[in-house]
Amino acid sequence: MNKGIDIYKYYSEMEDNNILLAYKGEITSKVLTSLLDIVEHKLDKLSEGIKVKKTMFNVLVECLQNLYHHSTEFSVLDIPNSSYSHVIVMIKRDIDEYTIMTGNYILSTNVNTLKTKIDKVNSLDKEELRMYGSKVLAHDGFSDKGGAGLGLIDMARKTGQKLGYEFLPINDKFAFFNLNLKVTNKS
């Protein structure tokens, strides 16, 4: 046997932190569908209200599709170590809120652009965000990857909260991007 990792330690830690879902690896179209399916079933089982279920589902779709498109970009870049295209997704359930946490590698050269987009979204209040969203929808050139940041705007609108984020420098070429989204569950 390998020098074992303590699986029970991981299990307990996730249990103590009320982790509803944890996934690490590649995001393919199939994986994406399965994750959505799992979360939808879990939310049904927890008898969450329609508002929470809809918000969670919508926000998760945008998060996972962002990850999916970034992974695809990476596979095209011909990066030798394929694990750079892998991601982590976790959902934590607390008494009055859910937290969706995602992590993925991004090129260091893209950090500033992404940071600017998120800061812009976070600087707007509810009504401004709505107007900005409409403007981007109506006027910006189309990108199938939602490059205009429509996904980020939508996440902020649907959750009604600021987007939490962090960029960890990894090496010359890569940073690790962590996005944290809160979905309130107060009736």
Partner 1 sequence: MENLTITGTAKTPTIEFDYQTGNLNLKGRSIPENSLEFFQPILNWIEDYTQRPQVTTIVEVKLEYFNTSSSKHLLDMFKKLERLSNNGRQVTIHWHYDQEDEDMFEVGQDYQIIVKVPFKLIPSASIA
Residues at the contact surface with partner 1, assessed by CB under 8 A: 29, 32-33, 36-37, 50-51, 54-55, 57-58, 61-62, 65, 68-69, 130, 133-134, 137-138, 142, 144-146, 150-151, 153-154, 157-158
Cβ contact 167:177 at 8 Å: yes
Q: Which is nearer to partner 1, 24 or 135 (CB)?
A: 135
Which residue, chain included where needed, has tokens 């590649």?
Answer: 26
Q: Which is nearer to partner 1, 51 or 173 (CB)?
A: 51
For residue 51, the minimal CB distance to partner 1 (Å) is 7
Residue type (1 letter), 15 = E
Q: Which is nearer to partner 1, 20 or 64 (CB)?
A: 64
Q: Which is nearer to partner 1, 18 or 29 (CB)?
A: 29
For residue 150, the minimal CB distance to partner 1 (Å) is 4
